[in-house]
Amino acid sequence: MQTHEGERPAVLAPGAELERMATGASWSEGPLWMPDRRALRWSDIHGDRILEVDEGKRMREHRTGVEFTNGRAHGLGGVVQCSHGRRAIELEVDGDVTVLVDRFEGARLNSPNDVAVHPDGSVWFTDPPYGIEKPEEGHPGSREYGGCFVFRWSADAGLRAVITDMARPNGIAFSPDLATLYVTESAGEDETAEANTIRAYRLAGEGADTAAVDGRRLFAMDAGTPDGIAVDAEGRIWSSSADGVHVLTPAGERIAHVPVPETVANLCFGDDGWLWMAATTSVYRIRTATTGA
């Protein structure tokens, strides 16, 4: 692990080493630890399949022909996941998939990318256009509502846009105290000055009236795109990048870098401090000195 201060911060367990747990995917995304199965579930987006690997490095196909699923999170009695192909947020329970929402004010969503479930049961997700722009990640289409928003959905209140000032919102995560929402901006340099940054929004209000306000740039990534992010119990942000994982304080100070030999797309915490990383063709893990928020 590398740091800018030349000292080893207490973010990894003593003697921690990077392990490659599985390989053979074409573009790995959407990792989620499944504690009941003692396995990591993730998407091989270009392969249009969902994979799992257990702690013994045994890999299996969970489902195929899944309409290009991406980010996922536990919630609502199952796994809430993003579908590029269906342009929807889905709920999978015991292998059965239900579409929760696929339209905003009558227009189809773009291609939901990443998702975070609030303790109140609301589903917060990003909606960039990758699935309608890249044939290997979905189906050709247009931006029907005209933007790329961050949304909040709940069964009782429906769908509402909570962030509308980003070009291509990507990864999403809450702070441990639920006072801040972090969203990564992965737009190209020609689209926005905020490209390849992590933004922080203050959450104001409660329930269906919760608003994301006072958006600000928290961190500018200098190693590719900050795609998926995860937050630990101390409130630090762990961000994917082209050269591994970068660890930031809630103030946006980079305190550590964990090198990974492939581009990291997304990451999640598992049990016992393990950090799991979905990186191009493979899945990696490393033991940390913390736990997920």
- Confidence band (pLDDT; 50, 70, 90) for 138? very high
Class of domain 28-228: mainly beta
Question: Minimum mean pLDDT among 129-138, 175-184, 189-198: which range?
Answer: 189-198
How many C-beta atoms surround the C-beta of residue 6 within 10 A? Answer: 6
Distances (CA, A) of 248 to 86, 171, 200, 226: 34, 15, 12, 12
215: pLDDT strictly greater than 50? yes
Structure confidence at residue 161 (pLDDT): 97
Structure confidence at residue 69 (pLDDT): 98
286: pLDDT strictly greater than 90? yes
Give yes or no for a contact between 113 and 69, defined as CB atoms under 8 angstroms apart.
no
Distance CA 127, CA 147 (A): 9
Distance CA 240, CA 226 (A): 5
Distance of CA 246 to the CA centre of its chain: 15
Residue among 237, 201, 211, 183 at smallest CA distance from 122: 211
137: pLDDT strictly greater than 90? yes
- Confidence band (pLDDT; 50, 70, 90) for 17? very high
Structure confidence at residue 188 (pLDDT): 58
Structure confidence at residue 5 (pLDDT): 39
- For the stretch 83-105, pLDDT in tens is 999 999 999 999 899 999 999 99
* Overall average pLDDT of the 273-287 stretch: 98
Q: Which two tokens stand for residue 63?
A: 């489902």
> Which residue bears the tokens 């961050």?
150
Burial 208-229 (b: 16+ CB within 10 A, else e): eebebeebeebbebebebbbbb
Per cent of the chain over pLDDT 90 is 91
- For the stretch 219-231, pLDDT in tens is 999 999 999 999 9
- Confidence band (pLDDT; 50, 70, 90) for 1? very low
